[in-house]
Amino acid sequence: MARECKYREMCELFLSDSDEEMELEVGDDDDKDECLYVEENSSSEEDEEELNYGNRSADQYMTEVIDEDDECDVEIDKDSEHCDSETPSLVEQNVPENVPSLEEGDLNHEWSNFHLNDDSAAVPKGEPGYDPLHKLRPFINHLNHLFQTSYIPEQHIIIDEALCPWRGKLSFKVYMKDKPVKWGIKLYHLCESKSGYVWWFEILCGMPGLSNRPYDVVQRLLGPLKSLGYCLYTDTYYTSLALAEDLASSNTGFTGTVLSNIIGLPKEFMNTKLDTGGVDFRRCKNTVVLRWKDKTDVAVLSTIHRPQMVAVNTRTSVKKRPTAIVDYHKNMGGVDLNDHMISYNAFYRKTTKWWKKLAFHMLTLTMVQAHCLYLKLFQTTYIPEQHIIIDEALCPWRGKLSFKVYMKDKPVKWGIKIVPSLRKQVWYVWRFEILCGMPGLSNRPYDVVQRLLGPLKSLGYCLYTDTYYTSLALAEDLASSNTGFTGTVLSNRIGLPKEFMNTKLDTGGVDFRRCKNTVVLRWKDKTDVAVLSTIHRPQMVAVNTCTSVKKRPTAIVDYHKNMGGVDLNDHMISYNAFYRKTTKWWKKLAFHMLTLTMVQAHCLYLKVRKIIGKPGMCLEDFMISVGEDLVTMPKSDLEQPTGAAVPQDPQQLRLQGKHLSHFLVPLKVRRYCCVCYARLKAEGTDSKYRRKRTQRTKWECQQCKKALCVHPCMKAYHTMQDYTRPLQNLV
């Protein structure tokens, strides 16, 4: 199943088959990183036999680490300025015959002989053509080529720095005080603002003849995107007046914070003191130089913004800020988001070789890139209809967890909060976020709604929310972007008239006010209800109840009709929960999302059955049917093992060879002997007694990975079918 998931498809997209492939070289340690090569057109049987044994792609190495068997090949970009067309091909290699066969999980030999280029072709330092990144150059060129051809970024892009951790000796190691890891190898990233997708990257290595001036770095990274109408955001390191003017002349927008001492800026203007909230600007040809003070003085250069102010909701009030700074804060964060994704899922291994550390950093980057494209594919599976809702869901969890929340209105009070965006009629979750306190990611209701809507904004959808998300600023913002909005609102929200919200109404009474595009409506039945809507008029409609016909506002009728998809989705998940007992929160969350996936598939299944006019199965029968299909699915084509078959059943594995192929290795931490524990359990004792009486041992079987006493448990475990019976007579 792992080979059929979309993550795998995205990885294959980045490490796809091609005519020319980059392979891992395997050789003896005594060869000192030297490898032999075979002519590209060689067709001898001996060479083919050696190649079949020795060829291993970069992706195959990575998949061996994560216990997968798929093989993908990597292409060398020979058109790159750093790739010599006369260099011997890495497609075919001659591997020494005495390379020992590796057992499953044993990567020590491959790790010590891991290569990505021919070291014998490296140009010595000080000579023309010297490349400090020669060991990684084909891999870097290949990734850059695939990152660019796999996806076209959206309009807003950013350039910033990233850091690959490294504290060893290295001539181009840098120190960056603002990074969580201070020492490392510096990378320049050109990213899409919203998703963090890296479209192009460079490594700062002091390449002879390659300028590292910020102006030149930006020009190289933009490359073919220049003059295509993109909007670029940078920080103070890259921003200059010359860069802004140059990009404006080539049809590329630019916005970036700037230092006060940059050449070309008026000194008197930059050094003038501003009061808190004060703003001032100057214009230089196509560029606006804007200064604004909140807590600190901020200066911005922009070729796409006018010196205008816009109202912004903070936690306590509404403040006015320049549009340039608002858009800068909104879009400048893709590289940081990418860094967080890499750091949370780091693929590093201990090594004394800087280039190996950098190679694994780029492999992790490749996985993050695949995840970005996977999320985009997840949203293209189904396009929701007009009415959508945003609400909270909860994955049950009562253990220790920093982002565990308490929700008193949920049947299960404690858990991990999930914010889904749904299409109402089929309960389909189109997009979701998990509340985990990620640094740099705002959890304000306004920002959460904006992120979840994403590309649906301005497409004419009608959004329904509850009081947690509803605000006057959100309603006005969505109305201005052609998105309808309806939601219940609290009486103390900023911008609502206090006298109107606090006026008492009689039972059945209704009142309303209008603010620009938004209607604020209050109605009382048993309780007082306030609603904000940009798609309803303050009209009443007759509604049939159990005993009579009553009149209610159309906004409230539609709200009750459409608001309920998340609760219905929660019910569908809870009735067919796929949970298992575990002490790991991430396993609980993974099973919750597996159940959610089944509910999603059932939603689409019902929709298809409705289109063809046939009845569908209930969710329980649907899940059983899917499970039966997965069990009976034929095994994928795997390489057949050569030689004697290795038993895969743990019961057969432990009894194989009467313990002659098993031996004990020391443990770092003492563990309970599995035989002693199982024997006490078979006697019917409780867990507390078993933990107290079971012996702790410092030995485990190297092959079975079971903690065992040296005698008699070691022999009993590997020779007895039922090792829980008394062991006194075992010799």
The structure tokens listed for 521 are 């409506």
Is 72 in contact with 61 (CB distance < 8 Å)? Answer: no
Higher pLDDT, 362 or 76: 362
Q: Is the pLDDT of residue 147 over 90?
A: no
Higher pLDDT, 500 or 49: 500
Please count the residues of the chain: 731
Contacts of 211 (CB under 8 A, 6+ apart): 217
| pLDDT given at position 612 | 80
Q: How far is CA 279 from CA 256, 301, 305, 321, in A?
A: 17, 14, 14, 9
Overall pTM > 0.85? no
Average pLDDT, the chain: 75
| pLDDT given at position 632 | 76
Q: For residue range 206-261, what is the model confidence (pLDDT) as tens digits? A: 888 888 888 999 998 898 888 888 999 998 888 999 999 999 999 899 999 999 88
Domain ranges in the chain are 19-130, 151-233+335-376, 381-567, 568-632, 650-719
Distance CA 557, CA 563 (A): 10
Looking at the chain, the whole-number percentage of residues with pLDDT higher than 90 is: 5
DSSP string for residues in 666-724: EEEEEEE-HHHHHHHHHTT--HHHHHHHSPEEEEEETTT--B--TTTHHHHHHH-SSTT
Nearest to 567 by CA among 402, 412, 450, 453: 412
Confidence of residue 566 (pLDDT cuts 50, 70, 90): low
Q: How far is CA 708 from CA 437, 654, 659, 727, in A?
A: 42, 12, 13, 14
| pLDDT given at position 255 | 93
98-102, 106-110, 705-709: which has the highest mean pLDDT? Answer: 705-709
Q: Is the pLDDT of residue 94 over 80?
A: no
133-148: average pLDDT: 85
Nearest to 232 by CA among 256, 216, 214: 256
- Show the CA angle centred on residue 512, arms to residues 509 and 517, nearest 5°: 155
| pLDDT given at position 301 | 92
18-37: average pLDDT: 36
| pLDDT given at position 649 | 52
Indicate the range of 37-41, 124-128, 144-148, 600-604 predicted with least confidence: 37-41
Q: For residue range 676-728, what is the model confidence (pLDDT) as tens digits? A: 888 888 888 888 888 888 888 988 888 888 898 888 888 888 888 888 877 55
| Greatest CA separation for the chain | 96
The structure tokens listed for 240 are 């200059």
Q: Is the pLDDT of residue 490 over 80?
A: yes
Q: Is the pLDDT of residue 98 over 60?
A: no
DSSP string for residues in 147-160: HHHH----SEEEEE
Distance CA 224, CA 302 (A): 22
Confidence of residue 415 (pLDDT cuts 50, 70, 90): confident
Query: Which residue has 């995205």 as its token pair?
Result: 10
Confidence of residue 569 (pLDDT cuts 50, 70, 90): low
Distance CA 89, CA 85 (A): 9
| pLDDT given at position 568 | 63
Q: Is the pLDDT of residue 546 over 50?
A: yes
Three-state DSSP state, 420: strand
| pLDDT given at position 346 | 65
Indicate the range of 10-14, 105-109, 271-275, 439-443 predicted with least confidence: 10-14
Confidence of residue 349 (pLDDT cuts 50, 70, 90): low
498-522: average pLDDT: 87
Higher pLDDT, 394 or 241: 241
Looking at the chain, the whole-number percentage of residues with pLDDT higher than 70 is: 73
> How many other CB atoms sit within 10 Å of the CB of residue 538?
17
